């Protein structure tokens, strides 16, 4: 083993190996380099990434909606330009669907950007290369933790490091390595199935810059969505056991077909239409996400906003926060507990609220109560505000609960439930009418 630094703040001559070249891993690498140079310190950072993003040879199952304040974060904290040229659609509205009701949700000044994740990942990794960071196209196959360092075995070459950062998302192989050697346990996860559909230029223009979100009365689907991406629509569903058959059932739902009226023609213009890809995303915190000489970031740690996700933004934030802890406090379990955990308190404290929101929404959708909530949301400002925040992800779920449980919200929901079809209110809160 080469001479290495101790478990205090990483100093000159240190080496960090990052497992994963997605937003979390690249953000950690860029922050390590930028902050170290500002302090007159130099050390080596190596990013391991087995996928080839350039040329879109690998697909990313993430829907690819970049939520605020991501553009500000990568510009001010990482010093790289936001890739506006990759934006396929600017999302200003959400249309929330229950089985027999829908509600258009608009929020002034809160926009998200829809991109193809594989293109965004390629951009971020290229920014790392341009700044002289080492990127190795390889996968980790094993690790050895020693008192004076870590050996990272890859399918290309072995690496000796002082610290390894787990930025591998929900990759089960990488998680298994850490679970065998450390106290790490991967977060619980939901399955997701993603496909795309090219309806044609005229229909894309009519669809508009809005995401349609669905809470159907389907025992296996927790939620679904249709997101515009320039010349096509990305369609996704999530649940404990969703698969391609579940996707077909989702596409046959009346409320979904109302949004996609020409779906029967899918596949005639593009060979990739309705080809399904499967993935997973975390719905809980991981356990043992840090220890002496290792730390997890992003999805691998479960540090996302439960229910909505906002995964890219939180991935970048946690990558930056891990880098700051490494440089400021140290690379020991004690250092991460003292610094990295408090730095992520905004995400951690909100997870129980988001989990409760997810479970409540699922139950209400399956028993048909969400129709009344959407009807009430058309006329009650606090409930409308809560529903917009829940689907856009721009405010903490603790605030969503406060608005959703406000007395006026509860009263409006109760009135909609009691009056049923006789309940009407002035829909002054709705944005532009959706298709």
Could you tell me what percentage of the chain is helix, strand and coil, using 3-state DSSP and rounding each to the nearest 5? 40, 20, 40
Structural contact between residues 346 and 29, judged by C-beta atoms closer than 8 angstroms: no
Q: How far apart are CA 93 and CA 91, in angstroms?
A: 6
* Ranges of the chain whose pLDDT falls below 70: 1-6, 54-61, 107-109, 264-269, 271, 306-310, 423-435
Q: What is the pLDDT of residues 221-270, one digit of tens each?
A: 999 999 999 999 999 999 999 999 999 999 999 999 999 977 765 544 57
Structural contact between residues 307 and 390, judged by C-beta atoms closer than 8 angstroms: yes
Is 390 buried (19+), middle (13-18) or exposed (0-12) by CB count in 10 A?
A: buried
Structural contact between residues 175 and 186, judged by C-beta atoms closer than 8 angstroms: yes
Residue 283's closest CA among 313, 314, 304?
Answer: 304
Q: Where are the alpha helices (DSSP H) in 222-272?
A: 244-251, 254-259
Pairing, β 277-282 against β 189-197: antiparallel
Q: What is the pLDDT of residue 392?
A: 82
The DSSP annotation for 107-148 comes to -TT--EEE--HHHHHHHHHHHHHHTT-EEE---EEEEEEETT
Q: How far apart are CA 243 and CA 196, in angstroms?
A: 15
Q: What is the pLDDT of residue 62?
A: 79
Q: What is the pLDDT of residue 272?
A: 75
Report how far apart, in Å, the C-alpha atoms of 323 and of each of 20, 179, 203, 328 are. 15, 23, 45, 8
Quote the DSSP letter at residue 65.
Answer: E
- 65 φ, ψ to 5°? -105, 115
Q: What is the pLDDT of residue 98?
A: 93
SS3 (DSSP) at 98: coil
Write out the H or E segment, with its range, that includes residue 407.
helix 407-419
Q: What is the pLDDT of residues 267-316, one digit of tens each?
A: 445 767 899 999 999 999 999 999 999 999 999 999 987 555 568 999 99
């Amino acid at each position: 083993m080469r001479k290495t630094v101790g478990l205090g703040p990483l100093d000159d001559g240190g080496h960090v190996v990052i497992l994963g070249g997605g937003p979390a891993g690249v953000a950690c690498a860029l922050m390590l380099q930028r902050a170290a140079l500002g302090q007159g310190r130099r050390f080596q950072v190596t990013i391991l990434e087995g996928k080839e993003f350039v040329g879109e040879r690998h697909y990313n199952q993430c829907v690819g909606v970049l939520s605020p304040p991501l553009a500000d974060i990568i510009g001010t904290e990482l010093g790289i330009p936001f890739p506006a040229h990759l934006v396929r659609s600017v999302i200003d509205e959400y249309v929330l669907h229950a089985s027999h009701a829908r509600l258009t949700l608009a929020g002034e000044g809160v926009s998200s950007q829809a991109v193809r994740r594989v293109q965004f990942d390629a951009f971020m990794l290229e920014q790392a290369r341009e700044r002289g960071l080492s990127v190795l196209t390889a996968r980790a196959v094993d690790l050895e933790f020693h008192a004076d360092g870590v050996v990272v075995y890859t399918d290309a070459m072995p690496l000796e490091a002082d610290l390894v950062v787990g930025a591998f998302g929900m990759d089960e192989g990488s998680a298994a390595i850490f679970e065998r050697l450390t106290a790490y346990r991967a977060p619980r996860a939901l399955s997701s199935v993603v496909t795309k559909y090219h309806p044609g230029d005229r229909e894309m223009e009519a669809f508009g810059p809005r995401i349609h979100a669905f809470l159907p009365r389907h025992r296996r689907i927790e939620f679904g969505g249709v997101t515009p991406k320039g010349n096509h629509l990305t369609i996704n569903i999530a649940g404990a056991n969703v698969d391609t058959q579940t996707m077909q059932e989702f596409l046959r739902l009346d409320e979904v077909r109302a949004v996609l009226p020409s779906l029967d023609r899918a596949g005639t213009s593009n060979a990739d239409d309705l080809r399904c890809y499967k993935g997973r995303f975390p719905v809980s915190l991981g356990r043992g996400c840090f220890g002496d000489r290792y730390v997890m970031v992003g999805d691998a740690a479960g540090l996302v906003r439960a229910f909505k996700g906002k995964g890219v933004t939180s991935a970048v934030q946690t990558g930056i926060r891990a880098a700051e802890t490494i440089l400021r406090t140290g690379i020991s379990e004690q250092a991460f507990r003292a610094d990295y955990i408090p730095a992520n308190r905004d995400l951690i404290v909100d997870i129980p609220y988001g989990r409760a929101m997810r479970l409540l929404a699922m139950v209400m959708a399956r028993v048909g109560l969400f129709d009344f909530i959407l009807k009430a949301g058309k006329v009650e400002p606090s409930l409308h505000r809560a529903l917009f925040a829940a689907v856009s992800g721009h405010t903490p779920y603790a605030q969503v609960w406060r608005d959703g449980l406000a007395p006026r919200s509860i009263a409006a929901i109760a009135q909609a439930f009691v009056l049923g079809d006789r309940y009407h209110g002035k829909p002054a809160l709705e944005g532009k009418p959706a298709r």
